[in-house]
Amino acid sequence: MSRVYNFSAGPAVLPEEVLREAADEMLDYNGSGMSVMEMSHRSKVYDDIIKTAEADLRDLIGISDDYEVLFLQGGAWTQFAAVPMNLMRNGVADYIVTGQWAKKAWQEAQKYGKAVKIASSEDETFSYIPDCSDLPIDDDADYVYICENNTIYGTKFHKLPNTKGKTLVADVSSCFLSEPVDINNYGIMYGGVQKNIGPAGVVIVIIRKDLIRDDLDEKVPTMLQYKTHADARSLFNTPPAYGIYICGKVFKWIKKQGGLAQMKARNEEKAKILYDFLDSSELFKGTVRKEDRSLMNVPFVTGNDELDAKFVAESKAAGLENLKGHRTVGGMRASIYNAMPKAGVEKLVEFMSDFEAKNK
């Protein structure tokens, strides 16, 4: 067996310890005589798994009883619709468009009401975060929406927008649990777990309880009403049971590393290695405005498409996988999520340095 350093944006690298533990428990989970994949989601043993996962997540982030934690399906994409369907009362919402995912969410919301783009960084290929200190927030806005870490472009809101008292909704798919957050700044924080937490198939929605309504239009599909899942503690129908089990293991793993403050320190250390190299390189160049750089997704280019393609091919041969940039940006992108070891980033930088020497 040989494992590569996997820089995929998602589904992405998971902690090796977690994968090994899951492998050990594959045939017989905790004396149950069956795999977690085979057990009833109504069984006592599964109930412990999902309740423990929720408790550990609450503990990691510091989530009070004012919030529900929901383990859902349908990916982040389903939330692009669920958010407006559940939160629009006045039928108005403000969107800050800082990348493809925010744009898709904004476009999807237009199906359900007036979704207003109040800021954007599309003029410069989403390479920065616009100033959000004094935006024209609608008086009637039911919420203000952001994508907090832009997976494709490698930007991050290091300061949350001034929503002028309106509810903040954030897609945190690619920065979930990468650093401490104050959940009380958010009405909804949600994300697909396949970037930084677990296997594809689970989306976690943390929602302030007063936003969960029982007066929704009855045409809103049962499965898309937050109330359905809040009332049933994420066991309304069959949940993505195995995925939630792996998420639970990752929560335990993060706790063991020292929690979110420690994750942040490690992520900063890793990102610095890569960014420092980019800033000193004569061949490679980061594509993002410095103060808006993400700790998780690092896009870079050589400025020459052929050289980029050569880099991607040669890095793959060297055991550094999935460094090809998103088709809309080109070049390369290294996703260095929580589970990417420092040694992986060091190896990448060493490879880049060699490549630069050979291709000057």
Ligand X SMILES: *Cc1c(COP(=O)(O)O)cnc(C)c1O
Residue 325 as a binder of ligand X (CB under 6 A): the answer is no
- Residue ranges in 172-191 that form contacts with ligand X under rule CB under 6 A: 173-174
Per-residue exposure over 11-35, b if at least 16 CB sit within 10 Å of its own CB, e if not: ebbbbeebeeebeeeeeebeeeeee
Number of CB atoms found within 10 A of residue 301's CB: 20
Return the bridge partners of 157, or none: none
Position among 6, 7, 10, 267 found at the interface with ligand X (CB under 6 A):
10
Return the number of the residue (189 or 283) whose C-beta is nearest ligand X: 189
**Backbone φ/ψ region at 63: left (φ over 0), alpha (ψ -120 to 50), beta:** beta
Catalytic, out of 94, 101, 142, 249: 101
Which residues on neighbouring strands pair with residue 204, listed in sequence order? 71, 191
DSSP 166: P
Going by the DSSP 8-state scheme, the letter that residue 331 receives in this structure is S
- Bridge partners (DSSP) listed for residue 168: 144
- CA-CA distance, 115 to 103, in Å (whole number)? 11
Q: Which of 156, 166, 195, 324 is catalytic?
A: 195
Q: Which stretch binds ligand X (CB under 6 A): 119-127, 171-179, 215-223, 319-327?
A: 171-179
Q: How many residues bind ligand X (CB under 6 A)?
A: 12
Nearer to ligand X, 72 or 349 (CB): 72
48 is catalytic: no
| Stretch of residues binding ligand X (CB under 6 A), selected from 69-77, 84-92, 223-231, 311-319 | 69-77
Q: Is 322 left (phi over 0), alpha (psi -120 to 50) or beta?
A: left
User: Tokens representing 300?
Assistant: 């870079």
Q: Does position 155 bind ligand X by CB under 6 A?
A: no
Q: Annotated catalytic residue: which of 94, 171, 292, 308? A: 171
**Min. distance of Cβ 75 from ligand X in angstroms?**
3
Binding pattern to ligand X, positions 89-128, x when CB under 6 A? ------------x---------------------------
Using CB under 6 A, which of the segments 19-27, 38-46, 72-80, 262-270 binds ligand X?
72-80
- Give the helix/strand (H/E) hosting 317: helix 305-317
Please, which residues have CB within 8 angstroms of residue 43's CB and are 6 or more apart in sequence?
Answer: none
Identify the residue among 8, 21, 35, 75 touching ligand X (CB under 6 A). 75
Binding-site member from 18, 63, 76, 205 for ligand X (CB under 6 A) = 76
* Radius of gyration over every alpha carbon of the chain, rounded to an integer in angstroms: 21
Among residue numbers 135 through 154, which ones bind ligand X (CB under 6 A)?
A: 147, 151
Q: Considering only residues 156, 195, 249, 333, which one is a binding residue for ligand X as defined by CB under 6 A?
A: 195
101 catalytic? Reply is yes
Residue closest to ligand X (Cβ): 75
Query: Does the annotation mark 171 as catalytic?
Result: yes
CB-count burial class (<10 Å; 0-12, 13-18, 19+) for 204: buried
Please report whether residue 299 would count as binding ligand X according to CB under 6 A. Answer: no
Identity of the residue numbered 10: G
User: Which residues have a catalytic role annotated?
Assistant: 101, 171, 195
Residues that bind ligand X (CB under 6 A): 10, 75-77, 101, 147, 151, 171, 173-174, 192, 195
